[in-house]
Amino acid sequence: MSAHQYDHGHTVAGWVGTGIASVGAVLAGAGVCFVSGLLIAGGLAIGVVALLVTWALHLAGWGKGPGIRPRDEWGWRVRDSGARAGHDACLGCRLAGRGRKAGSGRTAEVAGGAAVRGEVSVGGESEAAVVGADSGR
């Protein structure tokens, strides 16, 4: 049981990735302070390693997909049950070839000209109702 009443998203992948990235940031910062290109490059390399380790842990089920997890999976030491199939709206899963494929789902245009894939609703109304309401402009 979690001590908090909502899903913070704390995961093993998040904690490990943040720890490694913090070491890289400290090393790169020390490189700036000591004017050492070697320390800066080392810190940036550790940052890339943090990204790759976090991604690998996410794909292994130790991360979480976008959105709120089921309440019984809120603990940070609980593996993600949907990681093997991939998360629909997850860039990391799509880069690994998991989850929704690029051509699936509907596309809707929202304010600012951005395209949104999948089920779209605004204020509880479906995409068709929202588009119909905007067609009078």
pLDDT at 136: 47
> CB neighbours (10 Å) of residue 124?
6
pLDDT in tens, the chain (137 residues): 556 666 776 889 989 999 999 999 999 999 999 999 999 999 999 999 999 999 999 999 888 877 777 777 777 778 887 787 888 788 888 888 887 654 444 444 445 555 545 554 445 544 444 444 444 44
Tell me what pLDDT residue 47 has: 97
- DSSP lists the bridge partners of residue 117 as 107
Check residue 87 and give its pLDDT: 81
Q: pTM of this prediction?
A: 0.64
Cα 83 to Cα 103: distance, rounded to the nearest angstrom: 21
Q: Given this model, what pLDDT does residue 55 score?
A: 92
Burial, 56: exposed, middle or buried (Cβ in 10 Å; 0-12, 13-18, 19+)? middle
Close Cβ partners of 106 (under 8 Å, ≥ 6 residues apart): 117, 118, 119, 120, 127
Cα–Cα distance measured from residue 117 to residue 106, given in angstroms and rounded to the nearest whole number: 5
